[in-house]
Structure 1
Amino acid sequence: MNRYALSSDTELTVLLTQGDEIAFTEIYNRYSRKLMAMGYNYAKDSTLAEEIVQEVFIQLWEKRQQVKISTLSAYLATAIKFSVFRIIQRKRRQEAIAQEHYTKEEVVHDDERIYAKFLEEYVNGITEELPEKCRLVFHYSRNLHMTNKEISKELNIAEKTVEAHLTKAIKNVRKGLEGLGISTILINTFIKYF
């Protein structure tokens, strides 16, 4: 067994950013089958699933110095979902052209709903990795729409602590979304209204 097979995901990610091809191969060997299963689960087409996985790994290698990866498995899983989303989006547009009664406006709204749902699920995945108190503060603020003062009373912590937890959570969410290549304007809008 080579030393790469014993390396952690974090170690492999660092080596990947340095252009280590063996580390990249190890990542591929470690995750390609899982990602194929995930791609098939979403796309329901084995050939398409294989294409999606290949595309994800090509992008991973080509953008190895630009992407910010905190958790490799989560990054790859999200990349698969994002690729599937793009395919669904493309298919919906093609179907809309074929169906006269299916208006362009409806297609746009459908795409926006799918994209918003994808971002919401992705952000939930990021926040699940936060420390418990930080995760709770973010949940109370964004999902239950509680004020900092209300959260402070609920969790029996100072308002300044609530603000610190929110800042940390938003910073993590922003970093995760930037890793997907999403524009700063869209990230700011999403965080504001999430």
Structure 2
Amino acid sequence: MPLAEADIWIGIKNGSEQAFQDLFDVHWQRCFALSYKLLRDREAAEDLVQDVFVDLWTRKKHLLIHNTEAFLTQMVKNRSFITLSRTRIPERNLQLLESLLLESSPEEKLIWNEISISIESAVEQLPPRCKEVFVLRKYEGLSVDEIAEKLNMSIRTVENHLYQAAKFLRNNLNPVMLLLILNKLF
């Protein structure tokens, strides 16, 4: 850690708001850029980075940081992943995975293929009607109304199937594997 940064951390541990402001000023933009790249949502990225710095201030006396940039990068990635895993719009996660796949090395593409296989395997485990609704919505891009009309079911039934599918996939996909991949890529 550069001497000036070491001095900043000493000040932060001693409760210096100015030292904390200096740290914030140096690292905020990079943390925001990473969070925005992962979340693709400006407001969510700003909130996430704000939470990271609030958490730093709250835990300042207990932290032992040797590389501030690496530490903050890891915090932002972890919190971004948690945010993505909680999102109620699974296609955002899939779009993120697809965009990251385009930037990957051959080794990472192999890992991404394994993740795709895991997703497909989980989709295959859905009950038949639930799977049909999910595929029409997520892979064919039909609206809830279009699915209801096509399958001759109520809108509420389609929504229930989508909810059940999302819940099943959240519970059956391995978020740890995805976290490891995100950590490797960034």
Partner of 1:84: 80
Question: Which of 26, 34, 37 is residue 33 of structure 2 equivalent to?
Answer: 37
How far residue 110 of structure 1 moved from its aligned partner, in angstroms, is 3.1
Give the alignment of 1:108-127 within 5 angstroms: 108-118=172-182, 121=184
How far residue 109 of structure 1 moved from its aligned partner, in angstroms, is 2.7
Structural RMSD (CA): 2.9
**Structure 1 gap segments, 5+ residues each:** 1-5, 126-194
- Matches of 1:41 and 1:106, distance apart in 2: 22
Amino acid paired to 2:181: K
Larger Rg: 2
Amino acid paired to 1:104: F
Question: Could you state the TM-score of these two structures normalised by the residue count of structure 2?
Answer: 0.53
Which 10-residue stretch deviates more, 82-91 or 8-17?
8-17
Instruction: Tell me which protein shows more helix as a share of its residues.
Output: 2
Amino acid paired to 2:176: E
Matched, 1:16 2:16: no
Give the alignment of 1:148-163 within 5 angstroms: none
- What do the CA deviations read for 1:68-125 (whole angstroms, capped 9, x no partner)? 2110111111111111011012126x75984433563663433132133356x39xx9
**Structure 2 gap segments, 5+ residues each:** 91-133, 135-159
Structure 1 stretches of 4+ with a deviation exceeding 2 A read 94-110, 115-119
Residue pair 1:10, 1:71 contacting (<8 A) in 2 also: no
Residues 90 and 24 from structure 1, CA distance in 2 versus in 1: closer, same or farther, beyond 3 angstroms? same
- Matches of 1:39 and 1:72, distance apart in 2: 16
- What do the CA deviations read for 1:26-66 (whole angstroms, capped 9, x no partner)? 01111111211111111111111100110000000000011
Question: Could you state the TM-score of these two structures normalised by the residue count of structure 1?
Answer: 0.51
Residues 73 and 29 from structure 1, CA distance in 2 versus in 1: closer, same or farther, beyond 3 angstroms? same
- Matches of 1:106 and 1:44, distance apart in 2: 20
State, as a whole percentage, how many aligned pairs show the same letter: 19
- Matches of 2:172 and 2:66, distance apart in 1: 32
Question: Which of 66, 73, 76 is residue 70 of structure 1 equivalent to?
Answer: 66
